[in-house]
Amino acid sequence: MAKNQNTMEKRRREMEKKQRAEEKRTLRREKKEQNQERETQDASS
């Protein structure tokens, strides 16, 4: 039974790690888009 519990814990950690990675990816994408918009506005000024 302990082996099964450890397996489930490992899976839970992996899922949390994937979720954090996805959140970081989303934040980077949003930041990149904001920088592009700012550069576009600066260029047109």
- For residues 24 and 38, what is the distance between their CA atoms, to the nearest angstrom? 21
Torsion of CA 31, 29, 26, 15, to 10 degrees: -130
44 lies in a domain?
no
40 lies in a domain?
no
pLDDT at 45: 64
Torsion of CA 21, 25, 27, 30, to 10 degrees: -170
23 lies in a domain?
yes
Could you state, in chain order, the average pLDDT of each consecutive group of 10 residues for the chain (45 residues)?
Answer: 81 98 97 87 75
Domain around 3? 1-35
42 lies in a domain?
no
pLDDT at 2: 58
43 lies in a domain?
no
- For residues 27 and 15, what is the distance between their CA atoms, to the nearest angstrom? 19
pLDDT at 38: 84
Question: What is the tally of structural domains in the chain?
Answer: 1
